[in-house]
Amino acid sequence: MPVSKRPYLPQQVLLAEVDARFNGTIHQPLIGFGERLAMFWANHFAVATGKGGDVHILSGAFEREAIRPHVFGRFEDMLLAVETHPAMLYFLDNQQSIGPTSPANRNKHRGLNENLAREIMELHTLGVGSGYTQADVTSLARIITGWTVYRDEKHPGPIGSFVFNAGAHEPGDQTVMGITYADDGVEQGKTALRDLARHPATARHLAAKLLRHFVADQPPPPLIEKLAAAYTRSHGDLSAVYTALIDADEAWSPNLTKLRSPLDYVVAILRATGLKPKPEQIVSVLNALGQPMWNPSGPNGFSDVSDGWASSEGLATRIDAANLFAHQAPADIDPRLLVSDRLGPLASAQTIQAVSRAETKPQGLSIAFLSPEFQRL
């Protein structure tokens, strides 16, 4: 086969991962809370396929291997799995980071890369305005030098897996956020990550993000403190934080204020109808809606507030998506029953009337998918 005709392998892998997620995982649980959480954390620890072939081929594996096993566990375990996963190391260039005085840098041709260290502190743990300095970022970057991916095909080893390269590690003790970490190889970084995970600023940062995703674009400060306290008391047990979230009255408000993101919107349609489209179609629809799969424009992931998705162009594209899926839905789906079953008491009299007056089933489903109650959370 001519080289130009061969399928792009990373894209073939990505499509297989999309197929497994959208035509398998999301349909399994009756209650989709766990899937929502997996989507939330994959966006919190965002990687982007646009970085290139390595991240493109690993993005689905990253979610499966680093995120999903820890969704109901301890945050520090997820954090370590994320920061040592090849997808994250490639995305934020840590495999290029060499200790300035390490044995691997005797010729001084390579240097420190602070990308991963900065995003660990700014996005993944403490958050902006939490008191860390540029010196802290630099120290953390030195601590995680040598955190790389095994690529030596000439010697036996775990090709494509995380490995600690002691020769590239910056020697010496390092101080981050007032704590000095002794140089004990890879454990120096693991200890620093554990302390960052347990920091009060991390508790507040994660609490605010969870509430922004599930409750309101501007979450009430007392509720942030409630979730942060649950995080701190449980030493970062995420299940305890989710319990505090579920127990909050604000999480059950009948006032649907948040607009679904394109990803959540597509998932809601597929779960409501049982549809299992080809992965190419799912990727195409998400691209059109402005939330390409595993490909945000930066390490801060996709927007979690309504204004990020409420443009006239974005809403117009949802009409096309709704019509597309409505015409593919199983013939035995009654739009009126779908509204009754899926929206229940949230369905307004106007929506019920509009769906019941539809001339065809696809038209009725399109109206249901485009109703305010279906579009919002």
Yes or no: say if 94 and 116 are a contact pair by the CB < 8 Å rule.
yes
Domain endpoint, select from 229, 253, 277: 253
Tens digit of each residue's pLDDT (9 = 90 or more) over 292-350: 999 999 999 999 999 999 999 999 999 999 999 999 999 999 999 999 999 999 999 99
Asked whether residue 83 is assigned to any structural domain, the reply reads: no
The answer to whether residues 304 and 164 belong to one domain is no
Q: Which two tokens stand for residue 170?
A: 């910056």
CB atoms inside a 10 Å sphere around CB 129? 9
Q: Which two tokens stand for residue 142?
A: 């030195």
The answer to whether residues 223 and 363 belong to one domain is no
Tens digit of each residue's pLDDT (9 = 90 or more) over 149-189: 998 877 777 888 999 999 999 999 999 999 999 999 999 99
**What was the pLDDT predicted at 231?**
98
Yes or no: say if 46 and 301 are a contact pair by the CB < 8 Å rule.
yes
User: 162 pairs with which residues across the strands?
Assistant: 149
**What was the pLDDT predicted at 5?**
67
**What was the pLDDT predicted at 234?**
98
Instruction: Determine the Cα–Cα distance for residues 273 and 33; give it in Å rounded to an integer.
Output: 18
Give Cα 213 distance to the centre of its chain: 11
Asked whether residue 6 is assigned to any structural domain, the reply reads: no
The answer to whether residues 163 and 232 belong to one domain is yes
| Angle of helix 279-289 versus helix 9-22 axis, rounded to 10 | 90
Query: How much of the chain, in percent, has pLDDT values that exceed 90?
Result: 91
Domain count, the chain: 2
Asked whether residue 360 is assigned to any structural domain, the reply reads: yes
Asked whether residue 22 is assigned to any structural domain, the reply reads: no
Percentages helix, strand, coil for the chain (3-state, rounded to 5) are 60, 5, 35
Asked whether residue 269 is assigned to any structural domain, the reply reads: yes
Let me know if 171 is exposed, middle or buried by CB neighbors in 10 A (0-12, 13-18, 19+): middle
> What is the rounded average pLDDT for all residues in the chain?
95
Give the three-state DSSP class for 48. coil
In this prediction, residue 1 has a pLDDT band, given cuts at 50, 70 and 90, of very low
Q: Which domain holds residue 343?
A: 262-375
Yes or no: say if 257 and 376 are a contact pair by the CB < 8 Å rule.
yes
The answer to whether residues 174 and 319 belong to one domain is no
**What was the pLDDT predicted at 151?**
85
Asked whether residue 39 is assigned to any structural domain, the reply reads: no
Asked whether residue 23 is assigned to any structural domain, the reply reads: no
**What was the pLDDT predicted at 154?**
77
Domain endpoint, select from 194, 228, 253: 253
In this prediction, residue 147 has a pLDDT band, given cuts at 50, 70 and 90, of very high
The answer to whether residues 211 and 285 belong to one domain is no
The answer to whether residues 136 and 194 belong to one domain is yes
Tens digit of each residue's pLDDT (9 = 90 or more) over 197-207: 999 999 999 99
Res 83 pLDDT > 70: yes
Yes or no: say if 130 and 194 are a contact pair by the CB < 8 Å rule.
no
**What was the pLDDT predicted at 201?**
98
**What was the pLDDT predicted at 2?**
53
In the predicted model, what is the mean pLDDT of residues 72-98? 97
The answer to whether residues 205 and 329 belong to one domain is no
**What was the pLDDT predicted at 158?**
82
What are residue 164's phi and psi, to 5 degrees? -100, 120
The pTM assigned to this predicted structure is 0.95
Using only the alpha carbons of the chain, give its radius of gyration: 23
Res 3 pLDDT > 60: no
The answer to whether residues 235 and 326 belong to one domain is no
The answer to whether residues 244 and 123 belong to one domain is yes
Tens digit of each residue's pLDDT (9 = 90 or more) over 49-58: 999 999 999 9
The answer to whether residues 211 and 296 belong to one domain is no
Give the three-state DSSP class for 213. helix
**What was the pLDDT predicted at 187?**
98
Instruction: Determine the Cα–Cα distance for residues 24 and 282; give it in Å rounded to an integer.
Output: 13
The answer to whether residues 343 and 365 belong to one domain is yes
Asked whether residue 43 is assigned to any structural domain, the reply reads: no
Out of 26-30, 181-185, 285-289, 337-341, least confident range: 26-30
**What was the pLDDT predicted at 109?**
79
The answer to whether residues 247 and 100 belong to one domain is yes
Instruction: Determine the Cα–Cα distance for residues 223 and 202; give it in Å rounded to an integer.
Output: 15
Instruction: Determine the Cα–Cα distance for residues 264 and 37; give it in Å rounded to an integer.
Output: 11
In this prediction, residue 29 has a pLDDT band, given cuts at 50, 70 and 90, of confident
Query: How much of the chain, in percent, has pLDDT values that exceed 70?
Result: 98
**What was the pLDDT predicted at 274?**
95
Within 248-377, residue ranges assigned H as helices are 262-273, 279-289, 312-328, 335-338, 349-356, 361-369, 372-375
**What was the pLDDT predicted at 241?**
98
**What was the pLDDT predicted at 110?**
83
